[in-house]
Amino acid sequence: MYNIALAFAITISSFTTLGSKILVTIMPISALRTLPDYLQLGLNVTVNYVIPSLVIYLLLRAFRANRFLKGSTSIHALLAVVNVQRLLYSGLLMVASTIEGGGLHL
C-alpha cells in the first residue's frame, strides 16, 4: 500500500511543487539558502515525496483502499522499480552536491 502512496506522491509532485510552496511559507527563502546544498535537496525530497506519501498512505488506510485497490505483483513490482529509481536519483543528487563543483546547486 505504501508503494502506491509513494507513486501517487511522485506523480503529484511532478505536476506541482505543493510541498515546496508550503515549506517556503513556513520558512523564509533566505533561511533555506543558508543551508548546504545537500540539506536543501534532502529537505526538498522530504517535503515533496516523503511527507505527501505518508499522508496519502494514511488516507488510503483510513478509507480501507486495500478493498478496492487489488493490484497484481507485477504492478507492485513496476511501481517499486519506478519509486526506487526516483529516490536513488534524489539520493545521488544529494551525494553529488557534497562534492566541490558537483551536484545540483539550488
Which pLDDT score is estimated for 2? 72
Q: Which amino acid is at 98?
A: T
Q: In angstroms, how far is the first alpha carbon of the chain from the final one?
A: 33
> Given a cut of 80, is residue 28 above it in pLDDT?
yes
Q: What is the pLDDT of residues 47-84, one digit of tens each?
A: 888 888 888 888 888 888 777 777 677 877 888 888 88
HEC profile of the chain: CHHHHHHHHHHHHHHCCHHHHHHHHHCCHHHHHCCCHHHHHHHHHHHHHHHHHHHHHHHHHHCCHHHCCCCCHHHHHHHHHHHHHHHHHHHHHHHHCCCCCCCCCC
Which pLDDT score is estimated for 93? 80
Which pLDDT score is estimated for 103? 62
Q: pLDDT grade, residue 105 (50/70/90)?
A: low
Which pLDDT score is estimated for 91? 81
Which pLDDT score is estimated for 104? 60
Q: Which amino acid is at 79?
A: L
Determine contact, residues 40/106, Cβ cutoff 8 Å: yes
Which pLDDT score is estimated for 106? 53
Which pLDDT score is estimated for 64? 82
